[in-house]
């Protein structure tokens, strides 16, 4: 087959949303004809779909280098720049697109929206002061929020979450009903206070005969979250859980997911744990729908309160001093210790480098050493890096999430790096299984349970996302 024929087959896989196979075939075509800008451009959009923004950026730049008139290259590079929060650079590329395609309404709209973001960010920097920013929590007046007599939903008991409340709320959400805003605000405020008391790295103790469950990304797939509880039992003092980040975005029931999770955190604070993921950030929430969903279902003020809660989420948990659990992965140097994680300032938006960035964004790779991240943020780390980290910190293995896996989990690096992903058929397109891990305190041996997606109401993923990012 010629490069053109391989490209056409790759395009068919792309149309069927089989992005991994499409990338493989575009790569094969590039090896046959490395001077074809369109091949790099096509692989770039496939990488965008996989959220490999670093690779997408590199391919788009290569396409432009090969053909300065290849307008799709500028467009796709702009998309990658936006995903990496580099809006000024995105504006420059979109200006080129608009210049050569003055009648392209979509490009004009994206250019205008991107310019607005650049201006807003510049304004925020200009008015920034050294004083501590006033918390939005201080401006919320619960007493002024009245509850009408016709509200038939779950109610807090003396302002507190109970087991009965949680059962009623989950059923209420399942029926597509909305929790009263007064109760939602109260839960978020209480969760904010609770997480503020946590350390950046939380030590978790499991008794020898106790089961402990670790779940990966949920991504707003509320009905699949309910299925986890159906399969594995509701959280309780005798059935503790850790949810390892990315509770929101993509899926369009993120509000229901996060309220359910913080509800269990409030009910069982010493037996229910939540780690921050890379999607518990304002940039990702703006792109992938959580901000829009909260505004649609409640208020912009509530989203700002959620953002404060996300800043306070722990970055990692260490189980019985032997298993480290964090969302992304390991670090750009071999010297990072658990104490370094403990002393990391987490109460902020994720930075572009350093311990907090790596722990939220990094991914394992099969080859030794380190490599630039396919995502454009964090690093890729090999089995030698994992082995060195485990030996330095005297732990047995790490658990991370962050990546879709066909079976919902993957054991890599001789079993010392385990990935768990709990959103089956991610975005209604990926066809993957979901999984969770259970272990006993006596041996901490991971046991995997896999499951398929369950039906959900006819609301598509990304239903609340900013139209600027509809390419995702």
Cα angle for residues 342, 346, 351 (degrees, 5° grid)? 120
**pLDDT at position 126, please?**
76
Mean of the pLDDT values across residues 117-127?
A: 79
Is the distance from CB of 109 to CB of 78 less than 8 angstroms?
A: no
Tokens (6 digits) for 342: 């403990």
Does residue 471 surpass a pLDDT of 60? no
Q: Active site residue: 13, 219, 279, 327, which one?
A: 279
Tokens (6 digits) for 36: 């074809």
CA distance 118 to 74: 18
CA distance 433 to 410: 12
Q: Which long-range contacts (CB under 8 A, 24 or more apart) does 416-421 make?
A: 416/383, 416/386, 416/387, 416/390, 417/329, 417/364, 417/383, 417/386, 418/446, 419/216, 419/364, 420/214, 420/215, 420/216, 420/244, 420/448, 421/216, 421/217
Is the distance from CB of 401 to CB of 437 less than 8 angstroms?
A: no
Name the pairing type of β-strands 417-420 and 434-440: unpaired
Name the pairing type of β-strands 241-243 and 272-274: parallel
What percent of the chain has a predicted confidence (pLDDT) above 70? 97
**pLDDT at position 259, please?**
98
CA distance 130 to 142: 29
Report the candidate in 359, 188, 327 with the shortest Cα–Cα distance to residue 246: 327
The model's pLDDT over 381-439, given as tens digits with 9 standing for 90+, comes to: 999 999 999 999 999 999 999 999 999 999 999 999 999 999 999 999 889 999 999 99
Average pLDDT of the chain to the nearest whole number:
94
Mean of the pLDDT values across residues 280-303?
A: 95
CA distance 284 to 287: 5
Is the distance from CB of 60 to CB of 77 less than 8 angstroms?
A: yes
Is the distance from CB of 236 to CB of 264 less than 8 angstroms?
A: no
Does residue 118 surpass a pLDDT of 90? no
Does residue 130 surpass a pLDDT of 70? no
Is the distance from CB of 289 to CB of 465 less than 8 angstroms?
A: yes
Is the distance from CB of 242 to CB of 444 less than 8 angstroms?
A: no
pTM of the model: 0.93
Length of the chain, please? 472
Mean of the pLDDT values across residues 7-30?
A: 95
Report the candidate in 308, 30, 263, 47 with the shortest Cα–Cα distance to residue 168: 263
Q: Which CATH superfamily is domain 3-127 in?
A: Tetratricopeptide repeat domain (1.25.40.10)
Q: Which stretches does DSSP call E strand in 75-159?
A: none
Q: Which stretches does DSSP call E strand in 31-182?
A: none
Does residue 470 surpass a pLDDT of 70? no
| Residue 211, strand partner residues | 440
| Residue 319, strand partner residues | 204, 323
Choice between 118 and 317, residue whose per-residue pLDDT is larger: 317
CA distance 330 to 260: 29
**pLDDT at position 65, please?**
97
Does residue 131 surpass a pLDDT of 60? no
From 66-80, 122-136, 157-171, the region with the lowest mean pLDDT:
122-136
**pLDDT at position 128, please?**
63
Select 142-469's CATH number: 3.40.50.300, 3.40.50.740, 3.60.21.10, 3.30.870.10.
3.60.21.10
Q: Tokens 């089989």 appear where?
A: 18
Is the distance from CB of 258 to CB of 432 less than 8 angstroms?
A: no
CA distance 98 to 169: 48
For the chain, domain boundaries: 3-127, 142-469
CA distance 156 to 176: 19
Mean of the pLDDT values across residues 441-460?
A: 97
Q: Is 279 in the active site? A: yes
Radius of gyration of the chain (CA): 23
- DSSP class of residue 318? E
The model's pLDDT over 244-264, given as tens digits with 9 standing for 90+, comes to: 999 999 999 999 999 999 999
CA distance 315 to 429: 29
- DSSP class of residue 139? G
SS3 385: helix
From 10-19, 101-110, 398-407, the region with the lowest mean pLDDT:
101-110
């Amino acid at each position: 087959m010629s490069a053109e024929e391989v490209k056409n087959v790759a395009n068919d896989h792309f149309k069927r949303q089989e992005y991994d196979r499409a990338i493989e075939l575009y790569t094969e075509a590039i090896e046959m004809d490395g001077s074809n800008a369109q091949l790099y451009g096509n692989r770039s959009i496939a990488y965008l779909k996989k959220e490999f923004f670093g690779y997408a950026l590199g391919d788009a730049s290569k396409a432009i280098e090969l053909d300065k008139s290849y307008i799709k290259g500028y467009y796709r590079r702009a998309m990658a720049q936006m995903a990496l929060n580099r809006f000024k650079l995105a504006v420059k590329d979109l200006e080129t697109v608009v210049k050569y395609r003055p009648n392209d309404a979509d490009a004009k709209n994206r250019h205008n929206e991107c310019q607005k973001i650049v201006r807003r960010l510049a304004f925020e920097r200009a008015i920034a002061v050294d004083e501590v920013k006033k918390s939005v929590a201080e401006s919320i007046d619960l007493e002024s929020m009245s509850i009408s007599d016709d509200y038939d939903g779950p109610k807090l008991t003396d302002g507190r979450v109970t087991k009965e409340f949680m059962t009623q709320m989950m059923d209420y959400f399942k029926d597509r009903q909305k929790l009263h805003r007064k109760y939602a605000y109260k839960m978020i405020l209480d969760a904010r206070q609770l997480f503020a008391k946590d350390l950046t790295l939380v030590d978790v103790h499991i008794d020898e005969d106790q089961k402990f469950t670790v779940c990966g990304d949920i991504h707003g797939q509320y009905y699949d979250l309910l299925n986890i509880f159906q399969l594995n039992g509701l959280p309780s003092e005798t059935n503790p859980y850790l949810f390892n980040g990315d509770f929101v975005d993509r899926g369009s029931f993120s509000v229901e997911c996060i309220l359910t999770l913080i509800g269990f955190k409030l009910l069982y604070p010493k037996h229910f744990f939540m780690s921050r993921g890379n999607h518990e950030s304002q940039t990702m929430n703006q792109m992938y729908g959580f901000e829009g969903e909260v505004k649609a279902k409640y208020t912009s003020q509530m989203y700002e309160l959620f953002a404060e809660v996300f800043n306070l989420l722990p970055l990692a948990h260490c189980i019985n001093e032997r298993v480290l659990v964090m969302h992304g992965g390991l670090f750009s140097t071999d010297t990072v210790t658990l104490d370094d994680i403990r002393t990391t300032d987490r109460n902020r938006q994720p930075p572009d480098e350093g311990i907090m960035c790596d722990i939220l964004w990094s991914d394992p790779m099969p080859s030794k050493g380190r490599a630039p991240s396919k995502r454009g943020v964090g690093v890729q780390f090999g089995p030698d890096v994992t082995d060195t980290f485990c030996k330095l910190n005297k732990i047995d293995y790490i658990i991370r999430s962050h990546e879709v896996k066909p079976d919902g989990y993957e054991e890599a690096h001789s079993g010392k790096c385990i990935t768990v992903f709990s959103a089956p058929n991610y975005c209604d397109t990926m066809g993957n299984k979901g999984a969770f891990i259970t272990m006993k305190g006596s041996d901490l041996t991971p046991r995997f349970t896999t499951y398929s997606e369950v039906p959900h109401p006819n609301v598509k993923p990304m239903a609340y996302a900013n139209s600027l990012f509809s390419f995702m």
